[in-house]
Structure 1
Amino acid sequence: MLKTVFANHEFENPFLNASGVHCMTTEELDELDHSSSGALITKSCTPLPRLGNPEPRYINLPTGSINSMGLPNKGFDYYLEYVTNTPYTKPCFFSISGMNTDENLDMLRRLAASSFNGITELNLSCPNVTGKTQLAYDFEQTERLLNQVFDSYQKPLGVKLPPYFDFAHFDEMAKILNQFPLTYVNAINSVGNGLVIDLDSEKVVIKPKDGFGGLGGPMIKATALANVRAFATRLKDDIQIIGTGGIATGQDAFEHLLCGATLLQVGTQLHKEGPAIFDRLTRELEAIMKQKGYATIDEFRGKVKSFS
Structure 2
Amino acid sequence: MIMKKKIDISANINGIKLASCIMNASGVLCTTEVDLNKLIVSSSGAVVTKSCTLKPRKGNLEPRYFEWNMGSINSMGLPNLGIDFYLDFLEKKNHQKPFFLSISGLTIEENYILLHKANLSSHISAVELNLSCPNIIGKDQVLGYDFNNISKILENIFKFYKKPLGIKLPPYFENKHIQKMAFILNKYPISFVTCINSLPNGLFIDINKETVVIQPKMGFGGIGGKTIKPFALANIRQFYTYLRKEIPIIGCGGICSGEDIFEHILCGASAVQIGTQFIKEGVSIFDRLRKELVHLLQKKKYTSINRFIGKLNVF
Give the shorter-chain TM-score range: over 0.9
- Does the Cα contact within 8 Å between 1:65 and 1:215 map onto a contact in 2? yes
Per the alignment, residue 79 of structure 2 pairs with: 72
Question: Which residue of the other structure, out of 19, 22, 39, is the alignment partner of 1:15?
Answer: 22
Structure 2 CA distance, aligned partners of 1:179 and 1:84?
Answer: 33
Q: Secondary structure at the match of 1:233?
A: helix
- Structure 1 segments, 4+ long, off by >3 Å, are none
Structure 1 counterpart of 2:262, which letter?
A: F
Deviations 1:235-285 (A, max 9, x none): 001111000000110000000000110110000000000000000000000
Share of identical aligned residues, percent?
50
Per the alignment, residue 55 of structure 1 pairs with: 62
Per the alignment, residue 39 of structure 1 pairs with: 46
The worse-fitting range, judged by mean Cα deviation, of 115-124 and 61-70 is 115-124
Structure 1 CA distance, aligned partners of 2:53 and 2:124?
Answer: 20
Question: Which residue of the other structure, out of 289, 293, 296, is the alignment partner of 1:281?
Answer: 289
- Does the Cα contact within 8 Å between 1:30 and 1:88 map onto a contact in 2? no
Structure 2 counterpart of 1:81, which letter?
A: D
Question: Which residue of the other structure, out of 199, 206, 220, is the alignment partner of 1:191?
Answer: 199
- Does the Cα contact within 8 Å between 1:19 and 1:43 map onto a contact in 2? yes
- For structure 2, the 5+ residue unaligned runs are 1-7
- For structure 1, the 5+ residue unaligned runs are none
Per the alignment, residue 245 of structure 2 pairs with: 237
Structure 2 CA distance, aligned partners of 1:267 and 1:135?
Answer: 21
Per the alignment, residue 132 of structure 2 pairs with: 125
Question: Which residue of the other structure, out of 110, 135, 138, is the alignment partner of 2:143?
Answer: 135
Structure 2 CA distance, aligned partners of 1:119 and 1:166?
Answer: 29
Question: Which residue of the other structure, out of 6, 9, 13, is the alignment partner of 1:6?
Answer: 13
- Does the Cα contact within 8 Å between 2:56 and 2:81 map onto a contact in 1? yes
Structure 2 CA distance, aligned partners of 1:12 and 1:115?
Answer: 21
Structure 2 counterpart of 1:280, which letter?
A: R
CA RMSD of aligned residues (A): 0.8
Q: Secondary structure at the match of 2:63?
A: coil
Structure 2 CA distance, aligned partners of 1:108 and 1:221?
Answer: 31
Q: Does 1:246 align with 2:254?
A: yes
Per the alignment, residue 108 of structure 1 pairs with: 115
- Does the Cα contact within 8 Å between 1:44 and 1:97 map onto a contact in 2? yes
Structure 1 CA distance, aligned partners of 2:275 and 2:227?
Answer: 13
Structure 2 CA distance, aligned partners of 1:86 and 1:116?
Answer: 9
Structure 2 CA distance, aligned partners of 1:224 and 1:52?
Answer: 26
Structure 2 CA distance, aligned partners of 1:282 and 1:244?
Answer: 16
- Does the Cα contact within 8 Å between 1:50 and 1:74 map onto a contact in 2? yes
Q: Secondary structure at the match of 1:94?
A: strand
Q: Does 1:207 align with 2:215?
A: yes
Structure 1 counterpart of 2:83, which letter?
A: F
The worse-fitting range, judged by mean Cα deviation, of 291-300 and 77-86 is 77-86
Per the alignment, residue 270 of structure 1 pairs with: 278
Structure 1 CA distance, aligned partners of 2:308 and 2:138?
Answer: 42
Question: Which residue of the other structure, out of 154, 173, 177, is the alignment partner of 1:169?
Answer: 177
Structure 2 CA distance, aligned partners of 1:140 and 1:147?
Answer: 13
Structure 2 CA distance, aligned partners of 1:47 and 1:103?
Answer: 7
Equivalent residues in 2 for 1:214-229, closer than 5 Å: 214-229=222-237
Structure 2 CA distance, aligned partners of 1:66 and 1:129?
Answer: 14
The alpha-carbon deviation at position 89 of structure 1 amounts to 2.5
Per the alignment, residue 98 of structure 2 pairs with: 91
- Does the Cα contact within 8 Å between 2:99 and 2:123 map onto a contact in 1? no
The alpha-carbon deviation at position 149 of structure 1 amounts to 0.6
Per the alignment, residue 290 of structure 1 pairs with: 298
Q: TM-score, normalised by structure 2?
A: 0.96
